[in-house]
Amino acid sequence: MSSTKHLVERFRRSSAPVAAGSVDAEEIKRRKSTVVLEQRRPSVVKQANSFQERLSAPFRSSRLKSESKGDNIAGSVVSSRVSLFDLFCALPNELIAQILCELPLADISTFRLTARSCHHLVSNSESAVVRYWERHKLSGSQKSLFPPPAPSQAKLHYLWGLKRRGIIADKLAVLLTDFVAHEILIIRGKRKRKQFQPMWERMHGKMIPLLLVLTQFLERYRASLLEKCLQDWPPNHGFEILPLGDSTLLPNERTLMADYDPELLVQCHSMYTFMVQAFGRQLRPPTYASPVERALRGWSAQPPTRHEFATVLVLGGIPAIKDIMSNKTYSERRRAFGLFVSGISPRESTRWREHWEKLDTGMSLDRVPALRVVLPPVHSFWIEVAKRVLLEKEIVKDVEEIKSIREFLSDLVEYDILNPMPAAARQAGATAAEAEDEEPEAGEEQDGDE
């Protein structure tokens, strides 16, 4: 009650006329300015509402115009997208397949995972997409190494497999080329690396097709080996990887190599020898390291045995070699090597299914716990059989005519790696390095234009 009286008294005083002499002139002026300011100051809510009305007026008018014309497709963004997708799904299957054929594989995979209806559209067009890629986009070497399936069995997994193999071969070629530059040629410094860049790219480009051939050979050899092991061993035995005991259990390497071109087989033989030596070099510490340095750097692990090396080479193939060599330090490479050897054994790892799924052998995983694998000796795998095939086909008259690793790498870089870089190659690299140095960056070009 007292508060009500207080408010009434304040209102009466503010509305009553000011008596002469009771308030000075400055107080009257201050009250008038306050009233005028309060009348001129709009509220924040009114300002926001007026701004929103001005902003949405063009869109509201365009929507009203479209509704007046009888547009029945969509009045909002969401409904227009749905209608566009419905129109796309209503196209004939031939047109949808033609559209999918022009897309990259990454976009097709993304579209396939968008919704169930998109997955259904891609599944219905798989055969047409594979046939289109076979005729227009795949090279002759890809189709000869990895023959496309029949039209009735064509799936996108075939194209994804080709892309995955190409990516793996490219990455392994990068690792091997860097190994040549850093460990063999000892290219140090930014300037020298730029001069060597043309030779690096040439060597990298020549390695990729050879690594794809080795990928195909190792995949065929592994598939044939696992098939023989499953047939010759009873299912009541546990998982075991054995050294060579009976050579009849091994696939015929000579039959697998007979499909390759003789000249290509010579290059692949040198590529395989170099890859195995580089891979083995990455799995052992430098010979110049003293015991104290090995202890400080953690290089105390023993080099892998031949049996473990054959396990990675035969069962893991090119992808396993790439994954292990991708680690930068010796300790990380040895750890990755040990994880692969132990990870494929159901006795040593509880996640063995993940490792066998990554290998993509095509074999039922339920048969792995009873699998007994017989591995070939790593020192004679490929090398001895390839030499005999080259001699039988009279590609070389003597084993000494087969190129050594030094001659093979010299052919890749197009100069003798044991001699200094020739002046022509050094000048070409220097010219490319100077052109790269003189090329202005994007920010500098914008500054100049401004």
Tens of pLDDT, residue by residue over 212-223, are: 999 999 999 999
Q: Within a domain: residue 23?
A: no
Q: What phi and psi, each to the nearest 5 degrees, are found at residue 291? A: -60, -35
Q: Within a domain: residue 322?
A: yes
Q: Which domain holds residue 400?
A: 169-424
CA dist 303 and 417 (Å) reads 28
Position 174 pLDDT exceeds 90: yes
What's the sign of the alpha-carbon dihedral 88, 91, 93, 94?
negative
Q: Is 181 helix (H, G, I), strand (E, B) or coil?
A: helix
pLDDT of the residue at 20: 46
Q: Within a domain: residue 255?
A: yes
Tens of pLDDT, residue by residue over 219-258, are: 999 998 888 888 766 666 778 887 765 566 677 788 888 8
What's the sign of the alpha-carbon dihedral 260, 262, 266, 269?
positive
Mean residue pLDDT across the chain: 77
Q: Within a domain: residue 152?
A: no
Position 444 pLDDT exceeds 60: no
Segment 326-332 shows an average pLDDT of 89
Residue (of 252, 133, 146, 151) closest to 209 by Cα position: 146
pLDDT of the residue at 206: 93
The reported pTM is 0.73
CA dist 301 and 149 (Å) reads 46
- Label residue 208 by pLDDT band (50, 70, 90): very high
pLDDT of the residue at 449: 41
Q: Within a domain: residue 231?
A: yes
Q: Is 49 helix (H, G, I), strand (E, B) or coil?
A: helix
CA dist 206 and 69 (Å) reads 64
pLDDT of the residue at 252: 79
Q: Within a domain: residue 130?
A: no
Report residue 317 as tokens: 């193939």
pLDDT of the residue at 447: 41
Report residue 5 as tokens: 């009286």
Neighbours of 289 (CB within 10 A): 14
Cβ atoms 203, 177 nearer than 8 A: yes
Residue (of 176, 165, 167, 172) closest to 413 by Cα position: 176
To the nearest whole percent, how much of the chain has pLDDT over 90? 25
- Label residue 13 by pLDDT band (50, 70, 90): low
Q: Within a domain: residue 236?
A: yes
Choose the weakest-confidence range: 82-86, 205-209, 303-307, 322-326.
82-86
- Label residue 48 by pLDDT band (50, 70, 90): very low
- Ordered DSSP codes for 291-344: HHHHHHHT--SPPPPHHHHHHIIIIIHHHHHHHHHTSSSHHHHHHHHHHHHHHT
Total number of domains in the chain: 1
Q: Within a domain: residue 374?
A: yes
